Amino acid sequence: MKRREVITLLCGAAGWPLTARAQPPSKAPIIGYLGAGTPAGQGDWAAAFAQRLRELGWIEGRTIAIEYRWAENRPERYAEIAAEFVRLKVDVIATLGIAVPAVKRVTSVIPIIFAVDADPVGGGLVASLARPGGNVTGLSSQSPDTASKRLQLLQEVVPGLRRLAILANVNWRGAVQEMDEVQTVAPTLGLDVVDKLELRSADDIAPALAGLKGGAQALYVSSDPLVAANRVRIITLALAARLPTSFVRRDYIASGGLMAYGPNFLDLNRRSGDFVDRILRGAKPADIPVEQPTKFDLILNLTTAKALGLNIPESFLLRADEVIE
């Protein structure tokens, strides 16, 4: 199903209002779905979640109700939406890891399932991956060799790559961890990290990229909500500087980034439906282990490659899960 069709399916002809709600069938379980972004940006994730529930026998409007709410990239909305879910007496809350701390402060009783989080243990979402404890469990997007793999793939498409710049939001725990990992792995691959571009707000983006001093040949970008919200600006400035870019998700490549390698976020959101299914059938989140990603995607923007004068090897194109032209 195409992305546009997915969003249309979810939103309907009149769009998907922030407070749109389903009509719950009598005595049926209610799921509170808290989208951290917008229907346009993450509607396909919500569709994958709902589709998996249908496959498991949970039919929206018949055997379950789903209350969709969207924070529209405003973190202050998380607690507000969570409080509304408490008033609605939802049976389970499905969201992303970024929203969990705020939701946990509102309720320690309602089960919370997160579809994606880079470091659920380090971030205090769960006590451990095997025994989460509390009312939270879900899926981690963390994979120990992702940074190394992304660097190796970048070397394949940028001939003679030796000097690397890294851009990361240093106020975001997962981005700092990834930056540290890249700096550890890079020398083993013959790469020298010549510039570390540290962001704390959107105002830092232009000065950071304008201040490159080490003659970097490519830019490795760690993902977080700040970077995601400003990806077009980052990509535009990187292209102006003739820098090939490496990201973790498809939406960056659709916006003009060169290459992405990372967990399939659509699959993670789909699998979160399995967690909700187990909760609705009586399982406790404290006893459901956090799961790791099992599906990874390699995506390339061939138009960007051509604009940068890169000749992508045929073997690389054949391995890519998607080539955007």
Helix axes 173-185, 146-157, angle to 10 degrees: 60
Higher-confidence residue: 161 or 118? 161
- In this structure, are 220 and 159 located in the same domain? yes
What pLDDT score was predicted for residue 12? 40
| Mean pLDDT value of segment 290-306 | 96
- In this structure, are 153 and 122 located in the same domain? no
Give the pTM: 0.84
Paired sense of beta strands 259-263 and 296-301, if any: antiparallel
Question: How confident is residue 174, by pLDDT bands cut at 50, 70 and 90?
Answer: confident
Q: What is the CATH number of the domain that holds 180?
A: 3.40.50.2300
Residue-number span of the structural domain to which 221 is assigned = 146-263+297-324
CA–CA gap between residue 228 and residue 253 (Å, rounded): 12
- In this structure, are 172 and 307 located in the same domain? yes
Tokens 């930056």 belong to residue? 179
- Backbone angles phi and psi of 113, in degrees to 5: -115, 125
- In this structure, are 307 and 171 located in the same domain? yes
List, for residues 184-227, the tens digit of each pLDDT value.
999 999 999 999 999 999 999 999 999 888 899 999 999 888 89
What pLDDT score was predicted for residue 143? 65
Q: Are 310 and 158 in contact (CB under 8 A)?
A: yes
Report CA 217 to chain centroid distance, whole Å: 26
- In this structure, are 56 and 197 located in the same domain? no
- In this structure, are 122 and 22 located in the same domain? yes
Work out the mean pLDDT of the chain and round it to a whole number: 90
At residue 133, the 3 state secondary structure works out as coil
Q: How many domains does the chain have?
A: 2
Angle at 37 between CA 35 and CA 42, to 5 degrees: 75
Tokens 């725990």 belong to residue? 173
